[in-house]
């Protein structure tokens, strides 16, 4: 799946999609939740500035992204189109009406809109709105096999991971990623077995129910790496 931030005009978009098709990508994805780059307080606190951000251009195209670009891609190319960053049922419906093939429910790992809802919270209403007219992908805090199982039960066709692969890469590069995937698979198999089913198809909504978190978030939840003593309410 090739992912693009639209940072150029129509010709730029067409060139990118054309090249993705030529190189055999199975889907093309626009990330649509980054009209603004968020205020990343952890980076600010650590005085970290990514070099590529200093060189980044085309922000006005990213802010001005419209359904017109979706239509352009759908009209000119056959490749399945994915919109990543869908966070409401309303936007999911609009995407389907514009011919989008995959709705990718994501809050960008909580890195974009402060106080946005969690993907798993939004997922059920998106599934209701889409009514099987598009495939559904979800990401955000998928860190254990049980998280994968929960997402599938709630109706996702595909589950994505972000930070998990960063941590695995940092721990042991390619071998680390392979091991991480093995662990996820092992956890999924054990979870299904302990639930008393043999595969995803045997699961239904009766296998999940809402629960309150046992550990409440605090104002410093996002800063575990800064040695700040967490303030408890």
Ligand X SMILES: Cc1cc2nc3c(=O)[nH]c(=O)nc-3n(C[C@H](O)[C@H](O)[C@H](O)COP(=O)(O)O)c2cc1C
Quote the CA–CA distance of 102 and 27 in Å, as a whole number: 9
Contacts of 129 (CB under 8 A, 6+ apart): 89, 90, 92, 93, 96
Q: What track of x and - describes contact with ligand X for positions 151 through 190 (by CB under 6 A)?
A: ----------xxxx-x------------------------
62 contributes a contact to ligand X by CB under 6 A:
no
Under 8 Å between Cβ of 84 and 31: yes
- Nearest residue to ligand X, by Cβ distance, number only: 162
- Residues in contact with ligand X, counted by CB under 6 A, come to a total of 15
Choosing from 36, 108, 115, 209, the catalytic residue is 108
Under 8 Å between Cβ of 118 and 98: no
Please give the distance of CA 115 from its chain centroid, rounded to a whole number. Answer: 16
Contacts of 19 (CB under 8 A, 6+ apart): none
Residues 126-155 that bind ligand X (CB under 6 A): 139-142
User: Nearer to ligand X by C-beta: 69 or 106?
Assistant: 106
User: Nearer to ligand X by C-beta: 59 or 197?
Assistant: 59
Please give the distance of CA 177 from its chain centroid, rounded to a whole number. Answer: 18
- For 42, phi then psi, to 5°, come to -65, -45
User: Nearer to ligand X by C-beta: 93 or 106?
Assistant: 106
Q: Cβ 202 to ligand X, closest distance in Å?
A: 26
Q: Cβ 110 to ligand X, closest distance in Å?
A: 7
Residue 112's H or E segment, with its range, is none
Residues 79-118 that bind ligand X (CB under 6 A): 84, 106, 108-109
Q: Cβ 163 to ligand X, closest distance in Å?
A: 3
Q: What track of x and - describes contact with ligand X for positions 4 through 43 (by CB under 6 A)?
A: ---------------------------x------------
Burial status of residue 110 (CB atoms within 10 A of its CB: 0-12, 13-18, 19 or more): middle
Q: Both tokens of residue 180?
A: 């991480």
- Concerning whether 108 is annotated as a catalytic residue, the answer is yes
The alpha-carbon radius of gyration of the chain (Å, integer) is 19
Residues with catalytic annotation? 108
Binding residues vs ligand X (CB under 6 A): 3, 31, 84, 106, 108-109, 139-142, 161-164, 166
């Amino acid at each position: 799946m090739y992912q693009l931030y639209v940072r150029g005009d129509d010709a730029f978009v067409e060139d990118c999609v054309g090249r993705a098709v030529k190189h055999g990508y199975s889907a093309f994805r626009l990330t649509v939740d980054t009209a603004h780059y968020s205020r990343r307080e952890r980076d600010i606190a650590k005085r970290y500035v990514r070099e590529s951000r200093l060189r980044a251009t085309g922000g006005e195209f990213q802010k001005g992204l419209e359904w017109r670009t979706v239509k352009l891609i759908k009209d000119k190319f056959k490749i399945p189109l994915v919109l990543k960053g869908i966070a409401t049922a309303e936007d999911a419906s609009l995407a389907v009406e514009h011919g989008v093939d995959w709705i990718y429910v994501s809050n960008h790992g909580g890195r974009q809109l402060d106080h946005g809802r969690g993907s798993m919270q939004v997922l059920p209403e998106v599934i209701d709105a889409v009514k099987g007219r598009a495939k559904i992908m979800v990401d955000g805090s998928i860190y254990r096999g049980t998280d994968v199982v929960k997402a599938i039960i709630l109706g996702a066709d595909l589950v994505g991971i972000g930070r998990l692969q960063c941590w695995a890469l940092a721990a042991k590069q390619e071998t680390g990623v392979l091991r991480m995937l093995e662990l996820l698979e092992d956890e999924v198999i054990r979870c299904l077995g302990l639930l008393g089913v043999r595969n995803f198809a045997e699961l239904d909504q009766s296998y999940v129910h809402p629960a309150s978190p046992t550990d409440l978030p605090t104002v410093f939840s996002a800063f575990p790496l800064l040695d700040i003593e967490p303030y408890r309410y």
